[in-house]
Chains A and B, each alone.
Chain A
């Protein structure tokens, strides 16, 4: 972040139900120099002072300027979420003064409290389940470089069909596993939603898991008995409950 000698604005990361101070070691740079809490009724907003002139310049139109700030936004919210409940805001909420932050959020207090209730004390965890072979999300055509693709390229029809059958079988196991995980979440009353496929074609599932039992629940969700042995699972979390706060509070 450049110097704060000019005009200052207030960047809002999200709101929490109150509680402890901002966790130590939260690093908002280059978006801001430090993170503070601002009381808004029963809640607290997680805010930073940011240089207004920098925001009003050409920076926000330059991805090279924006990308590290987006990462800082995520980093701050991830640290806050690890310490307690939080409703994460989307990137780019800026007000001209502390009073403007308080006034704006106070006007949305019912919606914000509803969002806080929705996420409760849950943490978002993302499960990515894949075959490890670059499974195509649509499952209709073998990905380049796969056995089926090579067989098809060489014109070996039987080899192609065998390889393609194996890949479709893997895809079916993947779909079955994800369906079973969703059923398990439903039984355990854990909100879950499917996300768009990952870059590698893996199926992804976002789950809102109670903080106090997160370790145990994640372990049970990803236990070898729950996942087809031919599949790989990666778990990402705890994250701010980005996917579970709803949309626009106004």
Chain B
């Protein structure tokens, strides 16, 4: 259902992307155990498997889910910092600055 649409505000209830649906259905909602021990009971393993599927390299971009690849919060030190460190090392080497002593 589309309630309204303008350049500033978009409202919608349909057309969710798969990642949104997965988050809602697998991560939220009341947890109740059924009495049939089907494979579905192993829901955590299934969830992981599905997440691996949608996060695979060829799927993530299509789903718009690749942002964490570039975020230093999730990837450790930023590439920029690495570049800066390398440049600093080169400059110090040219200037003959000795390496700092351990400790």
Residues of chain A contacted by B30 (CB below 8 angstroms): 14, 87-90, 112, 115, 245-249
Residues of chain B contacted by A87 (CB below 8 angstroms): 30
Specify the chain B residue showing the minimal Cβ separation from A58: B39
Give the size category of A's interface with B: 35 or more
Binary flags per residue of A204-228, CB closer than 8 Å to B gives 1, else 0:
0000000000010010001010000
Selected from B11, B25, B26, B35, the residue in CB contact (under 8 A) with A95 is: B35
Residues of chain B contacted by A5 (CB below 8 angstroms): none
If A74-B25, A199-B64, A222-B9 are given as contacts, then 6 extra A-B residue pairs at C-beta distance below 8 Å, sorted by A number, are A63-B50, A100-B35, A104-B35, A138-B72, A140-B71, A236-B16
| B31, B63, B74 — most chain A CB neighbours (10 Å) | B31
Interface 9-mer from A17-25, A64-72, A171-179, A184-192: A64-72
Q: In the assembly, what is the distance between CA of A51 and CA of B50, in Å?
A: 22
Q: Could you tell me if B13 and A56 are in contact, using CB atoms closer than 8 angstroms?
A: no
Residues of chain B contacted by A115 (CB below 8 angstroms): 30
Q: Could you tell me if B46 and A61 are in contact, using CB atoms closer than 8 angstroms?
A: yes
Q: Could you tell me if B43 and A89 are in contact, using CB atoms closer than 8 angstroms?
A: no
User: Interface size of B by Cβ–Cβ distance < 8 Å?
Assistant: 49
Q: Could you tell me if B35 and A199 are in contact, using CB atoms closer than 8 angstroms?
A: no
Provide a sorted-by-A list of 17 A–B residue pairs whose CB atoms are within 8 angstroms: A55-B40, A61-B39, A63-B49, A90-B31, A92-B43, A115-B30, A138-B73, A140-B78, A141-B80, A143-B70, A200-B64, A234-B9, A234-B11, A242-B25, A245-B30, A247-B30, A249-B30
| B12 CB–A CB distance under 8 Å | yes
Q: Could you tell me if A242 and B36 are in contact, using CB atoms closer than 8 angstroms?
A: no
Q: Could you tell me if B34 and A134 are in contact, using CB atoms closer than 8 angstroms?
A: no
Q: In the assembly, what is the distance between CA of A231 and CA of B35, in Å?
A: 48
Q: In the assembly, what is the distance between CA of A235 and CA of B33, in Å?
A: 32
Q: Could you tell me if A242 and B28 are in contact, using CB atoms closer than 8 angstroms?
A: yes
Minimum Cβ distance to chain A for residue B61 (Å): 10
| A243 CB–B CB distance under 8 Å | yes
Binary flags per residue of B50-93, CB closer than 8 Å to A gives 1, else 0:
10010000000001110100111110001010000000000000
Minimum Cβ distance to chain B for residue A240 (Å): 8
Minimum Cβ distance to chain A for residue B68 (Å): 8
Residues of chain B contacted by A92 (CB below 8 angstroms): 34, 40-41, 43, 46
| A96 CB–B CB distance under 8 Å | yes
| A84 CB–B CB distance under 8 Å | no
